[in-house]
Amino acid sequence: LAELSDDLESLDRVASEHTAEDEERLDTLCASLAASKVLSNSVRDELKEYKHKLATTRTEIESTKSKNQSILSQCQAAEARAEEIISWLIAVEPQLRDCVNANMSASDEPEKFAEWERQLNDVDQFILRLETQFAEAKKESSSKLLIHKLQLFRNRIQERFTVAQQMMLRLARPTDFEPRLAKIRHVISSVEAELSHVDVLSLSPEHIKTITEKAKELLTELNEIKPDLEYAQQTGQVLVENKAVDYPERLLTDLSVLCDRHKKLVMNVLMSLERLEDALPLTQRLFRLRTNLNQQLTSVEEVTDYLENADCPQSRHDMLQVGLIEFGSYKNLEQVFNSSATFLAFVYMQRSHCIPFLLIIHVKILDRWLFNLSLSFNFYFTC
């Protein structure tokens, strides 16, 4: 009880000592502690966010560092390979040019050309890889250095590679292309020069036979170069596609013109040959009529000379003179044949297709003359 009494006294004493000011300070302290707790929580959240951003930044830095390291490695690898390729192209270009100037072909040194072909294929594949890397690098804005380097390497290699590839393709083209093309040009030009002489220009059967054989020879020559022409067209197209010629458009145009000239010549020779074959039997008949007519006219001349001195009825003499007057002097008949040949030559110059028809007309006219004159002779000798 004594102790309890002491405690109560102590409590009373403490309660008496506690004032309103102390309570106010305690309230302020509690409020400060509460504000500090809120602030500490906010600082803790900001610190946590900062740590997260710092970790993200570190990750991005590592990624960028790794990417830049990859770009640097690609640039160094591409540069090393590009310098190696350019050095090889610079070294091989004079050798290729010497081979081109010497008119060599891939078949002359197959092992060397095979090695050059293999290395050029490797260069071509490397250019394709550069283009692929270039396309991928363009998608990323951070690869400007790589884009610039790749474009620089590609342009430098492409310039040298194009020159070497063109010379290589020229060396790899067939060695018989130029000779066969020259043969085609020569045959076509020679046939064109002979074409003006291959037609009905004379009424002589022997001449027409000779010209007919000549026309057949020309047609044979044109048929013989047809495989060469087809080969030249196919090979020329391949050479143009492979860029193995300096002037591809000119080559294609020349081949097209040669093909058209060949077709035109074949048609013209066939038409001339047809006219000659049609004219041959007509000229042979015309020649026989002419020979027979000359014989008859010779007989007329002999009879006329005889009648001038012979004692015979005037009726026979008059009858023969009437026949001669009707058909003209036998000396003028030679002019008829010469005029016929001249006219036929004119018709040929006009490229007319009516020569056989004109020959038929001439044959019928002369045949009629000979028939009428023969009637006069027969009547005279039977009187």
% of the chain exceeding 70 in pLDDT: 68
Distance separating alpha carbons of residues 240 and 238, to the nearest angstrom: 5
Closest by CA to 231, choosing from 288, 270, 181, is: 181
Task: Say how far apart CA 318 and CA 341 lie, in whole Å.
Answer: 34
The yes-or-no verdict on residue 329 having pLDDT over 50 is no
Under the banding of pLDDT at 50, 70 and 90, the label for residue 348 is: very low
Give the per-residue pLDDT at 220: 94
Instruction: Give whole-number Cα distances, 118 to 124, 191, 350, 381, in Å.
Output: 10, 46, 62, 100
* DSSP 8-class letter at 220: H
Q: pLDDT (tens digit, 9 = 90+) per residue, 117-144? A: 889 889 889 888 888 887 777 777 656 7
User: Interhelix angle for 110-138 vs 144-172, to 10°?
Assistant: 150
Could you tell me if 245 and 260 are in contact, meaning their C-beta atoms sit under 8 angstroms apart?
Answer: no
Cβ-in-10-Å burial (0-12, 13-18, 19+) of 188 comes to buried
Tokens of 233: 């067209």
DSSP string covering 71-123? HHHHHHHHHHHHHHHHHHHHHHHHHHHHHHHTT--TTTSHHHHHHHHHHHHHH
CA 244 to chain centre: 11
DSSP state of 287: H
Q: What does pLDDT average to over the chain?
A: 76
What band does 187 get if pLDDT is binned at 50, 70 and 90?
very high
For 195-231, what is each residue's pLDDT tens digit? Answer: 888 887 777 888 889 999 999 999 999 999 999 999 9
Which pLDDT does position 301 carry in this prediction? 59
- Rounded Cα distance, 290 and 156, in Å: 85
- pLDDT of 173 higher than 90: no
Identify the pLDDT of residue 98.
86
Q: Which CATH class is domain 38-172?
A: mainly alpha
Instruction: Give yes or no for residue 270 having a pLDDT over 90.
Output: yes
Q: Is the pLDDT of residue 326 over 50?
A: no
Answer yes or no: are the C-beta atoms of 286 and 359 closer than 8 Å: yes
pLDDT tens-digit readout, 302-316: 656 655 555 555 544
| Burial category of 91 from C-beta neighbours within 10 Å (exposed 0-12, middle 13-18, buried 19 and up) | exposed
Which backbone phi and psi does 139 adopt, to 5 degrees?
A: -75, -20
**In angstroms, rounded to a whole number, what is the distance separating the alpha carbons of residues 165 and 86?**
13
Instruction: Label residue 381 by pLDDT band (50, 70, 90).
Output: very low
Residue 327: the pLDDT is: 47
pLDDT band of residue 264 (cuts 50, 70, 90) is very high
What is the pLDDT averaged over residues 3-26? 64
Residue with tokens 């890397």: 133
Please give the DSSP secondary-structure letter assigned to residue 173. S
Task: Find tokens 């090979």 and name the residue.
Answer: 235
Closest CA to 108 of 120, 95, 119: 95
Cβ contacts of residue 339 below 8 Å, gap of 6+?
Answer: none
The arithmetic mean of pLDDT across residues 92-96, rounded, is 89
